[in-house]
Structures are given as structure tokens and as C-alpha cells.
Chain A
Amino acid sequence: MKRVVVTGMGTVTPLGGDVVSFFAALLAGRSGIRKLEAPWAGSINAGIVAPVSEDIAGHFPKLKLISLDRVSQLSLLAARQAVAQAGIDFSGAHGEHCGIFWGTGMGGASTLESAYNDLLIHSAARLKPTTVVMVMNNASTGQISIEFNIRGPSYTYSSACSSSAVALGEAFRAIRFGLVKAAIAGGAEAMLTQGVIKSWESLQTLARVDAEHPETSCRPFSADRSGFVLGEGAAALILEEEGAAKARGATILAEITGYGNTTDATHITQPEASGQARAMRLALAEAGLMPEQVDHINAHGTGTRAGDLSETSAVRQVFGAQAKRIPICATKALHGHLMGATGAVEMLAAIETLRTRIVPPTAHLFHPDPECDLDYVSEGPRQLAKLDVVMSNSFGFGGNNAVIVARRYS
């Protein structure tokens, strides 16, 4: 078995367009949730989202944009940052032994919705010739391969909210088992379109707007929670086999040591604590760790009642008496629910937590819920003297649970 290390990270989120600004915003408790700005905003009940506010398209030449949906643009920007930090070069024969593992829930949702509008509302006789290659869920994967000349295996995972956590986990396994030497892994989502938001609205999972402080509307583990806020973004990690990373003198940010993936097989949307607990146990088992060795959990923490109670119960099942000792944070309160991207974004946050030994707060936890009685770090960022092992939970509609464990590299 190979050891798997992280040598580069990149992200574009509602909290900032790079790792440093993203993590600084988490520690500062700055929310990326804001009023929806769109001509059709009046049709949305909640009217708040967590958008990426910086210019994204401006990073690409016009000719390239012909075939890049926003999701692929976000993917490429995150991947560029990660590759730059890692200082890795995929050209030459090396690129044949490297892979791409990418997650997205809805792929090129914006292009698809535009196409339907053109066809059904505006009676267009034909659609953009690049519609298919912009919409397909593996568009980002293909675009990343082209930009970085990666020619080994490529996989695109779509398991709703756990998509990019699965991508990271599968990349970890591929390197661990010697199938590839390095990988770009992560995911992206860009689905803040009218049709998609209306669809989520109907599921009754979106947060009610706090009229006075809309940016605090997402409140994981708080008794007054009412759901999550849809967001967009991307995160990419460079995973490498330890020996290859060391041989080229790379700076190692963390080591991925375990991955658990389970399926509830109970309900298409309702979370199931036992399935989540099994995923955590599997990740710990692969990492060769006992529950008491975990120093921090980045929770899935969506801010729905069902999700909060289920995850709290699952943590209790796995960690027993230790559960209340572990500082847990739910960063979705600030960056929103980035769907297919959220697992990678939160894993990145967990690794920054590992590196800095500072746990970001669970923001907006104004009213403790007696049924959620763990340590959610609601008071603000917390510096820990010992923080060597982190766990990141991601649970998706469809019943998929993906858990990743990382540790300080030594």
C-alpha cells in the first residue's frame, strides 16, 4: 500500500477565490450568503444564495468560453491553483500515470437551462453547437485533462452532495493501490439557475430568510435552523504517492489516510445515522486509527433538522463517550451548500484546520438544540494545542455517505 499525500490545493468559493481568503473568511465568521441578484429573483421564495462574486469568465479567452459552462470555469480555476501550489508537471510520460477524479451534482446546469429557455420559450430553431459538451457531467473532467495534459484514467462522480468527497476518496484509493502516481481530485458546482433553485425550493430544504440578518439564515445544529442555502464553487486537491512527491521535492500539506463510503438504502433524501456511522468507521479502519485519535470533524452540517440530528447521532455511535470531546464545525453556515463541490471544499477546510491548528466556528448557532449536544465550536475559531487527525463528512441525497480522514504528515 502506498501512502497518499496532498501537495496542492485550490478553491473558488462564495468566501473568496483562493485557499487563503476562503479560510480567513471561515475563521472570521464572514458569510458568503447574500440576496439573489437576477432578473428572475422575484420568482424565488427565499431569495438568498451563496454565489461566487468575483469575475470568473474573465480568466478565459473568448474562444475557450464557447465550450466552457460556468462549472468548468470554476473547475479549471481551482485546478490551476492546486497545480501551481504543487508545482507538478503532468506533461511527458508522467501524465500517462496520473488521473482526474472529479465530482459534480448537476454539471453544466446553466447551459442546459439556457438551452431549454432558447428552445421552449424563444422557439429557437437550433441550439448552440457546444451545448452537449458544456452540459455533460464529465465536461470539467475533460477540460482539466486538456489543460494539464493528464492522460491516465479519469472519472466523474455524481452522488449529489457527496460527489467531490467520493472523487477525493476514489483518487486516494487509486494512488494507495498503485493505479496512478498522482491525481487532480475535487469537484465543482454551478447551478444557481432559476429552474434548479425552484426545484430545490419545492423540496422544502432551503433556509428561511432571516429578515434582519439574511447572511445568518443558515444555522447548522441551532434549534432555530430551517435548512441550507444553495451555493456554487469548486475545490481541487493534488494527491500524490508519497515517494513521488518527496522525490520531486514537493511540500507535503497533509496525508490522506482513510476513506469510507456507504449507502443507506433506506430513503432517497432522508439521512440515516447508521449508514453515516458505518462510513466513519470504515474511514477510521482504513486509516488504522481509533476513534479517540480524531481531533476534529468537519461536519456535513447542512442545517436541516433531519441532517443535524442524524449526523449528531452518527458521531455519537462512532465516538461514544468521546463524541463530546471532539470539536466539530459546520462551515456551510458561511459558504452555503456547494452541492457537488462541497465535499472537496470542506476537506480543504479540514486540511487548513490541520495545518493551522485552528478550528473554524460553526457560525450562527444562536440557540443550542438539546438534541444536538456535541461541541460545535459555536463561540468562534478555536486554537488547539494538539490537532493531528481530521475527519470530513459528506452525505448525499440518494443515501451516499463519504468520509475522509487526513492527518498531519510526518
Chain B
Amino acid sequence: MNSLQTVQQLLVEEFGLTPAQVHAEAALEELGVDSLATIECMFLLEDKFKIRFPGGDAVVIKTVGDIAREVDSLLAQQANAPAATDKPGHS
């Protein structure tokens, strides 16, 4: 999970959580990161990594590590198909 540290840093800086709280297995719900805060987090990560989460409920995100895995996956797709992020569909 290459992006884990960035995700953790974001959760600490933007949401006021402590570094000890945001370990990879930490459940977002238990941290108080509800569905709206999770979307907020993803929007911030989209801006940071220049990626676009697909939206919808295809991806299950329950832990801090789940977010990092999803970011890594999108970064990998982007590396393989650089034009993909230019497609419309998420705004």
C-alpha cells in the first residue's frame, strides 16, 4: 500500500485523528469517519493524486487500509492507461 502513509497523514491533518488511531486495520466507522467523511476524504485524495474514484457502491471501503488500496489500484490503472482519468463520468 504505497499510498497508506499519505492517507494516514490526510486523516490526521484534515480530520484531527491521531497517528496511533489511523493504522491500516482501523475501522473508519470506529474512528468516527462516517460515509460523508469518507467521501470528503476521497475527494481530497482525488485532488492530491489526480485520480478519480469511480463512485457507486462497487468498492467496499471499511478501513484506513481499504482507502489506500483503492488509491493504489487507481494509480496503477492510471499508469497503465494515462488517458483514463480524462474520461467523463465523475464530476
Contacts and interface: CB of A to CB of B under 8 A. Distances in A.
A44 to B, nearest CB: 32
Contacts of A67: 36-37
B17 A63 contact: yes
Interface string B26-66: 00000111001101100100000000000000000000000
Contacts of A370: none
A288 interface: no
A63 B12 CA distance: 10
Contact of B16 (A61, A126, A133): A61
Contacts of B32: 63
Contacts of A62: 14-16
B91 interface: yes
A295 to B, nearest CB: 49
B46 to A, nearest CB: 9
Most buried by B among A61, A129, A130: A129
Given A66-B36, A66-B40, A133-B36, A126 B91 contact: yes
Interface in B56-91: 91
Nearest to B31: A63
A125 B91 contact: yes
Most buried by B among A62, A63, A125, A130: A63
- Per DSSP, chain A at the interface is loop
A128 interface: yes
- Per DSSP, chain B at the interface is helix
A66 B16 CA distance: 11
A130 B15 CA distance: 14
A63 B33 contact: yes
A318 B15 CA distance: 55
Contacts of B40: 66, 128-130
Contacts of A61: 16
A130 B36 contact: yes
Contacts of A128: 40, 43
Interface string A120-146: 000001101110010000000000000
B15 A63 contact: yes
Nearest to A128: B40
A61 B39 CA distance: 18
Contacts of B15: 62-63, 66
Nearest to A60: B16
Nearest to B17: A63
Interface in A53-72: 61-63, 66-67
A56 to B, nearest CB: 16
A8 to B, nearest CB: 27
A128 B37 CA distance: 10
Given A126-B43, A129-B43, A63 B91 contact: no
B36 A129 contact: yes
A67 B37 CA distance: 8
A356 B39 CA distance: 51
A318 B43 CA distance: 58
Interface string A46-89: 00000000000000011100110000000000000000000000
B61 to A, nearest CB: 14
Nearest to B33: A63
A62 B14 CA distance: 7
A61 to B, nearest CB: 5
Contacts of B91: 125-126
5 contacts: A63-B37, A125-B91, A129-B36, A129-B39, A129-B40
Interface of B: 14-17, 31-33, 36-37, 39-40, 43, 91
The 7 lowest CB-CB distance pairs between A and B, nearest first, are A62-B16, A129-B39, A63-B15, A125-B91, A130-B36, A61-B16, A63-B32
Given A62-B15, A63-B31, A129-B36, 18 more contacts: A61-B16, A62-B16, A63-B15, A63-B17, A63-B33, A63-B37, A66-B15, A66-B37, A66-B40, A67-B36, A125-B91, A126-B43, A126-B91, A128-B43, A129-B39, A130-B36, A130-B40, A133-B36
